Amino acid sequence: MKRLLKLLAVVLLVALVTQTPFIYRRYQLGRLNAKIHELNNERAADADPVYADHKGVIHVHSFLGGHSAGTFADITQAAQANGLAFVVMTEHPSGDFDTRALTLRGVRGGVLFVAGNETSESDADRFLTFGGTASGDAPAPSSTQERIDRARAAGQLVFVAHPETFRSWREAGGFDGMEIYNLHADAKQINRPLLFFDGLWSYRSYPHLLWTRFYQSPDANLRRFDELTGGAAGRKIVAIAGNDAHANVGLTFQDLAGHTVFGLKLDPYERSFQVVRTHVLVARGQALSEENLLAALARGHAYVAFDILCDASGFRFTASNGTEQKFAEHKLMGDEIARTGAGVRLRVTTPVRSRIEIIRDGQVVNEARDVSSHEWTANEAGVYRVVCYLPQLSAPLDAKPWIISNPIYVR
Ligand SMILES: [Zn+2]
């Protein structure tokens, strides 16, 4: 009996010691959740008279392309619950039927759906191709470049997906842009035992915040983006976020009869659509359509935001060189602008106070703290983009990007 009590005491002690960090973490997530609510309540309304900010998600799979059991109803409901304006579907191709033709397209429940595919060349070079017309995938393209050329000939947009595995950076040309963040790739790096205990304590109350456990700043992708856009050989490409939503990442424990004992889903659509979004700017007063959405995306009138930390709607990064007559003629992220004698005035606006970094060709050249609007003059040619942070959040989130803009090209 005495030995049994001793054993019990040891087991309890071990449980206490190992679980304390996860219990403390649950407390931290509660505080983070409250802070996020506070930030969202402080948001300034979007006062831009010229452009309207449409938030949406790109890179979404349904049951059609395998690896996912998600239905169209799941996806539509998740988009509505998140107040999304658009969803770009990118189904895996199938040998048996045309997944692009069969997936969601057009306006459903107030959400604009654009149909497309996620293709894979030699298991490394993956693309999101969407919009335009069908490109006829049989016979399969013989190279990465042929894939790009065919998609473009069909009027589709072509974005590099999964930049972490993409190989043909040097050879491939003509694609419109790249994912600078892929949520699925980030989620897959998670440490499963840690996730299990984290989930045990926090999943019920703060399922959406478990993402903060594995969020890595996409530094390698941003370096790649700066390399491709900067320097003498640099060209215009567009940065987007890939939600890569399948609703298939998580942990499930089943008993012998197949009943789920403990199930923890990291990426149901509703949550994936909440974490990160691509915002697209379209002239105010126009209804969002496939045509104006894709035109704005192609021009880079877009930015990536981790809206789960605070809805970034209303963020703007614009430029003027003094030759414009009206505010409507100011340049927007994605645009080119010519230098004049007085330099180019860059202007950043955020819906809540933030720390703003202005980056030129990959280097931080200016920083502003605790501001919701900031101006700075660029006197040198270069590729200028903006990253915003929320120091109001606790570490490590305070030092991880909240907003990542597309660049303004000062020539
Ligand atoms: Zn995918």
Q: How far is ligand 1, taken at its centre, from the CA of residue 167, in Å?
A: 17
Q: How far is ligand 1, taken at its centre, from the CA of residue 157, in Å?
A: 16
Q: How far is ligand 1, taken at its centre, from the CA of residue 52, in Å?
A: 28
Q: From CA 257, how far away is CA 246, in angstroms rounded?
A: 26
Q: How far is ligand 1, taken at its centre, from the CA of residue 74, in Å?
A: 17
Q: How far is ligand 1, taken at its centre, from the CA of residue 127, in Å?
A: 9
Q: How far is ligand 1, taken at its centre, from the CA of residue 244, in Å?
A: 5
Q: How far is ligand 1, taken at its centre, from the CA of residue 158, in Å?
A: 14
- Global confidence as pTM: 0.92
Q: How far is ligand 1, taken at its centre, from the CA of residue 65, in Å?
A: 9
Q: How far is ligand 1, taken at its centre, from the CA of residue 382, in Å?
A: 33
pLDDT in the model for residue 4: 86
Domain boundaries, the chain: 22-295, 311-410
Q: How far is ligand 1, taken at its centre, from the CA of residue 298, in Å?
A: 20
Domain 311-410 classified CATH 2.60.40? yes
pLDDT in the model for residue 142: 82
Q: From CA 42, how far away is CA 372, in angstroms rounded?
A: 11
Say if 22-295 and 311-410 have the same CATH topology: no
Q: How far is ligand 1, taken at its centre, from the CA of residue 82, in Å?
A: 20
pLDDT in the model for residue 139: 74
Q: What is the mean pLDDT of each run of 10 residues along the chain (411 residues)?
A: 85 84 85 95 92 97 82 94 97 87 93 94 88 79 89 94 92 93 83 76 81 89 95 88 78 55 68 95 95 97 97 96 76 93 93 97 96 96 97 93 97 91
pLDDT in the model for residue 313: 97
3-class secondary structure per residue, the chain: CHHHHHHHHHHHHHHHHHHHHHHHHHHHHHHHHHHHHHHHHHCCCCCCCCEEEEEEEEEECCHHHCCCCCCHHHHHHHHHHCCCCEEEECECCCCCCCHHHHCCCEEECCEEEECEEEEEECCCEEEEEECCCCCCCCCCCCCHHHHHHHHHHCCCEEEEECCCCCCCCCCCCCCCEEEEEEHHHHHHCCCHHHHHHHHHHHCCCCHHHHHHHCCCCCHHHHHHHHHHHCCCCCCCCEEEEECCECCCCEEEEECCCCCEEEEEECCCHHHHHHHCEEEEEEECCCCCCHHHHHHHHHHCCEEEECCCCCCCCCCEEEEECCCCCCHHHCEECCCEECCCCCCEEEEEEEEEEEEEEEEECCEEEEEEEEEEEEEEEECCCEEEEEEEECCCCCCCHHHCCCEEECCEEEC
Q: How far is ligand 1, taken at its centre, from the CA of residue 67, in Å?
A: 9
Q: How far is ligand 1, taken at its centre, from the CA of residue 61, in Å?
A: 7
Domain 22-295 classified CATH 2.40.50? no
